[in-house]
Structure 1
Amino acid sequence: MLSAVEKTRIRVSKNTEAKKKSLFGQFLTPARIARYMAGLFYPTTNDICRLLDPGAGIGSLSSAFLEQCISGDLPFDKVRITAFELDEHLHQDLGNTFASYSGRVPLAYEIIGGDFIEEAVNRIQFGNGNRFSYAILNPPYKKINSDSRHRFLLRQTGIETVNLYSAFVALTLALMAPGGQVVAIIPRSFCNGPYYRPFRNFLLERAAIRHMHLFASRNKAFKDDAVLQENIIIMLERGGQQGDVKITTSTDDSFTDLTTHVHSFNRIVFPDDLEHFIHVPTSPECNAIELLAAVRYSLEDIGIQVSTGPVVDFRLKDHLRDMPELGTVPLLYPVHFNGQNTEWPKTDIKKPNAIQRNVETEKWFFPNGFYCVVRRFSSKEERRRIIASVVQPDIFDDAEVLGFENHLNVFHQRKHGLPEALARGLAMFLNTTAVDEYFRRFNGHTQVNATDLKLMKYPSREALVALGKVAKGIPNDQVIIDRLFQELQEA
């Protein structure tokens, strides 16, 4: 039977226009997820609980927390809730949720409208109000412009981040008392990439990670709102001593196939990783890449660089041509690669095949040669995250230079091509199942950034060349690729 709060969530969600959901960046939390999140908290010796619920919506998360109090799992003499909700149209439903607990739990609450970021920054800067002992949140998902008021306010408290969800988590941590517990459901995108590095540093400096739960399916956590995002539930302790981390996974919010493993922290954040990528291992075994001593070299060690394709097509629109003609050079998109084969030009695509070579475009080109390229984006239907291919220079006739469009990452040697065997060996290594599994432990979205590729470890240059000599001419078959890589490691 659906609870009254869950019935309200479904009603509000169905009656809220998609445009408004996007504007606020807020999606209401389903009851089963709310209950799971509330169940992650553990009791302390405090008699009074001060609970923070930023972006409270209709109160689904606070309601789940109060149910834990009623059950005796979180016993308190008094519970005081501070709930922030920007959308005033939800205040009545939120108030009704809290009022329904009158007489069932010793509760006092306040509902605060307006901007949580502004209010939180004021509290942090001027110290008004007691610190919170618990926080539970499903923050809004929305980018923050670099020149926005939100970005300015956050910088006043030493927070540098690019999305509302990470801003809410950072501010929440800053508002917690020592030992305070935070449980949040957020996109997994903060785990890697350069844009979230300041946020990762902020989080790791101020809190211990106690628990992370990963939903294996991208579209199940908020299926009512058709949210396509790999979400993670994270439990943090403000100022806690970092120890082992519990990792749980389930396909969806039914939690019927829940798996649980405990990992040492050095498998969550690698000690030598200056970027502080946060890995989410989904099995107790170490990944094959972690176990292989031969895979320990940086791109710098093997004399290779990787860059995002420099041709941003919409900025050079006047110079693009559907097909090659006099005065143009090949322009390569992900669609031009199929396994290890380069297919150019292609007549059945909506993308241009060529770009004019002139004084305005010359600086964006690479000399023709062998390169390893990786798509920056994979579609949600594709089985792999990393999809690597080899540029074959002989198919471009007498072209002196090539253009790489921005949706490709390009491996090169100081903006020149690679030896053929090295390019092929690098592509084969990147296409192994071991690399794909390793990459998924810190990357939860479909984008593959050049920074991600820079921070990975690789076999030696000699090993990649040897792999490339074997790779030439073999079919694009996953079983064969994995077997050849394994044989190379055992040799």
Structure 2
Amino acid sequence: MQEIAAVRKRLPGGRFSSTLEGKEEDVRVLTIEQTRLEVSKKIESNKKSQFGQFFTPSKIAMFMASLFPDAYGNCRLLDAGAGIGSLSDAFLERWQLGGFHFHRVELDAFEIDDSLKIYLQNTLHRHQNRPEFSAVIRVEDFIHAATEAIAGSFFASVMPQYTHAILNPPYKKINSDSAHRLALRTVGIETVNLYSAFVALAVAQAAPGGQIVAIIPRSFCNGPYYRPFRDFILERAAIRHIHLFESRNKAFQDDEVLQENIIIRLERGGKPGPVTITTSTDDSFTDLVSHEHSFDRIVFPDDSERFIHVPTSLEKSAIELSPAVRYTLAHLGIKVSTGPVVDFRLKEHLRDMPEEGAVPLVYPGHLGITGVVWPVPGLKKPNAILRNDVTEKWLYPNGFYCVVRRFSSKEEKRRVVASVVDPSAFGNHTVLGFENHINLFHENKRGLPALLARGLAMYLNTTAVDDSFRRFNGHTQVNATDLMLMKYPSREALIDLGKWVQQHSEITQDMIDEQFRKLIA
């Protein structure tokens, strides 16, 4: 158990610095971790999918418990989606070791899966020898219980205002017409996933000054679907701490979860202030790095979408610093759209290879570093789409476009990968189809001037843009909204970059970045 002891010594602020002493403590922690692994293996994959829950490894649970500031008085603790009780156990252990100074702790542990109740009971039983501790296990749906309590339903069970909440909420999409979505709307919460619903309800149920620590996917930080959720939490709570795992698949590696996760601490009713950002490669926390940032570097004051940025160094990005990069696409007279051809909806109109009456259909597989290659035999995707009354409205005039793939693989070094669509690649065809996994820059559904398209693609392929983009985008998807809200050089500067590109037959990443540095110098 020396490894776990070492983890504790490294946790922020020294708040959880005691080492594990004694065999009884070693066995207790090992038992919880062994139970997690064994129970996780027993649960069928379809049941995991049904509940959207993955159990928290003990090291992560301990780290999450360490993020709460020390506190006195009485604690009302919420663990929603408690599983086998790993998070509650870590919180209570910190209290037992003197990391909190509570007179009393009362826990509400929600877990909808009745088969986990016995494991949760066994975990909490270890703390029942303290007369100052009491726990209620609620085998019920947290969303329905919380929304009914907040709405003041006559038949609702009483729920207190919680001073503390520690959460590993389920990860599962919520359909727009589902019972969960309708229940959330009754209390002013509009969101698309169970994890954000749990966090929003925990914030809503928190007492003034209440502390919420949750491990959740990073996907809420940007994009239009989570805008209402960002508004909800930012209007009711202050972000105090964000921890980022630099390796995408290490937080829940036993369950092979590839979603990028962060740990966030919120303070109910707190005023925006400095935010601590910590990073580690994985859940060993051996290379923990900590920095403090002003809130205006986390949520930019002029950002109407309220994207949440996670800077990983104290230095501002080149994009933030440069007065030359301050224009919006609206200023430039450019629009960005998602490719309108959704192939499975137009399946009967697709063709593997060009034929009479068909026009080019551009997929990500046609995009290369030097431009577009079309057609591509053996692509496993159609190369063409019939032009007719059904498809006409989805087609664009042939021309120069700057395009960005909507998805990058998790192994790729770059998140933003831009290419130029050159009309000469398509022979005499006058219109093109762009598949839904492509974002394209255009001027009112028409192509861009050639030099502007080339300069825009070069700018998007700079390391500076990729670094800036990663500060708010935590997954492999690049949405058109993300690209629309970015800042760009002037139209004239982009055309100059296009001229430079045209003068070189081969261009390296170093050359692109050096030319960009000259632009912003």
Band the TM-score falls in, shorter-chain normalisation:
over 0.9
Superposition deviation, residue 410 in structure 1: 0.5
Q: Which aligned pairs between 1:268-283 and structure 2 lie closer than 5 A?
A: 268-283=298-313
Q: Distance in 1 between matches of 2:251 and 2:57?
A: 8
Report SS of the residue matched to 1:50.
strand
Superposition deviation, residue 394 in structure 1: 0.9
Is contact 1:299-1:458 (8 Å) kept?
yes
State the AA in 1 paired with 2:88: S
Tell me the equivalent position of 1:74. 100
State the AA in 2 paired with 1:54: A
Q: What is the CA deviation profile of residues 90-112 of structure 1, one whole-angstrom value per residue up to 9, with x for unaligned ones?
A: 00110111111122472100000
Q: Distance in 2 between matches of 1:231 and 1:105?
A: 36
**Could you tell which deviates more after superposition, 104-113 or 331-340?**
104-113
Tell me the equivalent position of 1:478. 509
Is contact 1:428-1:481 (8 Å) kept?
yes
Tell me the equivalent position of 2:8. none
Q: Distance in 2 between matches of 1:3 and 1:78?
A: 26
State the AA in 2 paired with 1:487: K
Tell me the equivalent position of 2:79. 53
Work out the percentage of aligned pairs sharing the same amino acid: 65
Tell me the equivalent position of 2:32. 5
Is contact 1:66-1:105 (8 Å) kept?
no
State yes or no: 1:308 paired with 2:338.
yes
Q: What is the CA deviation profile of residues 189-242 of structure 1, one whole-angstrom value per residue up to 9, with x for unaligned ones?
A: 000000000000000000010000000001000001000011000000000111
- Residues matched between the structures, number: 489
Q: Distance in 2 between matches of 1:216 and 1:436?
A: 15
Q: What is the CA deviation profile of residues 360-385 of structure 1, one whole-angstrom value per residue up to 9, with x for unaligned ones?
A: 11111110000000000001111110
Structure 1 unaligned residues grouped into runs of 5+ = none
**Could you tell which deviates more after superposition, 136-145 or 71-80?**
71-80
Q: Which aligned pairs between 1:182-201 and structure 2 lie closer than 5 A?
A: 182-201=212-231
Tell me the equivalent position of 1:28. 55
Tell me the equivalent position of 2:424. 394
Q: Distance in 2 between matches of 1:57 and 1:140?
A: 10
State the AA in 2 paired with 1:20: K
1:423 to 453, 473, 480: 453
Is contact 1:340-1:476 (8 Å) kept?
no
Q: Distance in 1 between matches of 2:390 and 2:242?
A: 49
Q: What is the CA deviation profile of residues 258-290 of structure 1, one whole-angstrom value per residue up to 9, with x for unaligned ones?
A: 000000000000000000000000000001110
Tell me the equivalent position of 2:465. 435
Q: Which aligned pairs between 1:114-263 and structure 2 lie closer than 5 A?
A: 114-126=140-152, 128-263=158-293
Q: Distance in 2 between matches of 1:60 and 1:313?
A: 44
Q: Which aligned pairs between 1:335-354 and structure 2 lie closer than 5 A?
A: 335-354=365-384
**Could you tell which deviates more after superposition, 100-109 or 133-142?**
100-109
Q: Distance in 1 between matches of 2:142 and 2:287?
A: 36
Is contact 2:248-2:259 (8 Å) kept?
yes
Q: Distance in 2 between matches of 1:54 and 1:3?
A: 23
| TM-score using structure 2 length | 0.93
**Could you tell which deviates more after superposition, 19-28 or 201-210?**
19-28
State yes or no: 1:318 paired with 2:348.
yes
Q: Distance in 2 between matches of 1:22 and 1:43?
A: 36
Tell me the equivalent position of 2:41. 14
Q: Distance in 1 between matches of 2:190 and 2:518?
A: 46
Superposition deviation, residue 5 in structure 1: 1.3
State the AA in 1 paired with 2:106: R
Superposition deviation, residue 158 in structure 1: 0.1
**Structure 1 consecutive aligned stretches of length 4 or more whose deviation exceeds 6 Å:** none
Is contact 1:51-1:81 (8 Å) kept?
yes
Tell me the equivalent position of 1:108. 134
Q: Distance in 2 between matches of 1:349 and 1:105?
A: 67
State the AA in 1 paired with 2:112: L
Q: Distance in 1 between matches of 2:507 and 2:250?
A: 32
Superposition deviation, residue 44 in structure 1: 2.8
Superposition deviation, residue 17 in structure 1: 1.7
State yes or no: 1:488 paired with 2:514.
no
Tell me the equivalent position of 2:14. none
Is contact 2:323-2:520 (8 Å) kept?
no
RMSD (Å), alpha carbons: 1.0
Structure 2 unaligned residues grouped into runs of 5+ = 2-28
Q: Distance in 2 between matches of 1:121 and 1:346?
A: 53
State yes or no: 1:446 paired with 2:488.
no
Is contact 1:70-1:105 (8 Å) kept?
no
Is contact 2:325-2:520 (8 Å) kept?
no
Distance 1:287 1:135, change over 3 A: same
Q: Distance in 1 between matches of 2:394 and 2:128?
A: 66
**Could you tell which deviates more after superposition, 301-310 or 120-129?**
120-129
Tell me the equivalent position of 1:298. 328
Q: Distance in 1 between matches of 2:494 and 2:114?
A: 59
State yes or no: 1:381 paired with 2:411.
yes
2:316 to 283, 286, 289: 286
Report SS of the residue matched to 2:332.
coil
State the AA in 2 paired with 1:189: S
Superposition deviation, residue 114 in structure 1: 1.6
Report SS of the residue matched to 1:72.
coil
